[in-house]
A and B are shown apart, each in its own frame.
Chain A
């Protein structure tokens, strides 16, 4: 089973700053099957990025994804107040899915 590790666990930033979130896999992941989600309190997760770098429908272009192999990154270019939330990466391989433990982006 592929294990995903996310860092940092908590990222404290101010609105307007750039956020860089990391997702590292225990073995190589197909870039086609790496996704990122945003979750706010009391809400279901929302798909942000799929196939490592493709934005989902309706997602602002301040969100971008990159990476390959075992190292992937979600970047929020300029944090808006509504971006403070928890972010999860997720991978698929060999009929199994795994999620990372999440990174909380909170207001500094």
Chain B
């Protein structure tokens, strides 16, 4: 079955960077895009961006432009999301999800908690 398994929790200081991985299995990686979504504590879902599994093309949410980079490693069917210049309001659970045929996110990874604290 299709599975997305994310890397473990991270604690970072303000100004640092974090890189979250999302290892996929159960489907052909280059057939679908991977989307990234985050959720601050007690808040709703915020779309961050997506990357094509086929050619690596990316589209980022405007508010994160310049701080986020999404990449893929097709040899290991893994997607990565790096966020730089971390601030306290970047504290959130970060999810990856496969972008299915009609732009729905399915399935989702288990989430990675990133805590930004001095």
A33-B102, A97-B50 known; 6 new pairs, CB 8 Å cut-off, are A35-B104, A37-B45, A45-B95, A96-B47, A97-B47, A101-B44
Interface size in chain A (residues, C-beta < 8 A): 24
Give the distance in Å from the alpha carbon of A100 to the alpha carbon of B62 in the complex: 17
Give the distance in Å from the alpha carbon of A47 to the alpha carbon of B44 in the complex: 15
Instruction: Indicate whether B35 reaches chain A with its CB closer than 8 angstroms.
Output: yes
- Nearest-CB residue, chain A, relative to B6: A44
Which of B45, B103, B107, B111 is A88 in contact with, Cβ under 8 Å? B45
A37, A46, A101, most chain B CB atoms within 10 A: A37
Instruction: Indicate whether A70 reaches chain B with its CB closer than 8 angstroms.
Output: no
For the residues of A in contact with B, the DSSP-based class is strand
Instruction: Indicate whether B100 reaches chain A with its CB closer than 8 angstroms.
Output: yes
> Is the pair B100, A50 in contact by a Cβ cutoff of 8 Å?
yes
| Inter-chain contacts of B106 with A (CB < 8 A) | 47, 50, 56
Which of B46, B47, B103 is A33 in contact with, Cβ under 8 Å? B103
CB < 8 Å A-B pair total: 60
Give the distance in Å from the alpha carbon of A57 to the alpha carbon of B59 in the complex: 28
How distant is A11 from chain B, measured CB to nearest CB, in Å? 16
| Inter-chain contacts of A45 with B (CB < 8 A) | 37, 45, 95, 105, 108
A32, A46, A50, most chain B CB atoms within 10 A: A50
| Inter-chain contacts of A33 with B (CB < 8 A) | 102-103
| Inter-chain contacts of A100 with B (CB < 8 A) | 44
> Is the pair A50, B102 in contact by a Cβ cutoff of 8 Å?
yes
* 7 sample A-B contacts, Cβ–Cβ < 8 Å, listed by A number: A33-B102, A46-B108, A50-B102, A90-B47, A97-B103, A102-B44, A102-B45
> Is the pair B105, A37 in contact by a Cβ cutoff of 8 Å?
yes
> Is the pair B105, A90 in contact by a Cβ cutoff of 8 Å?
yes
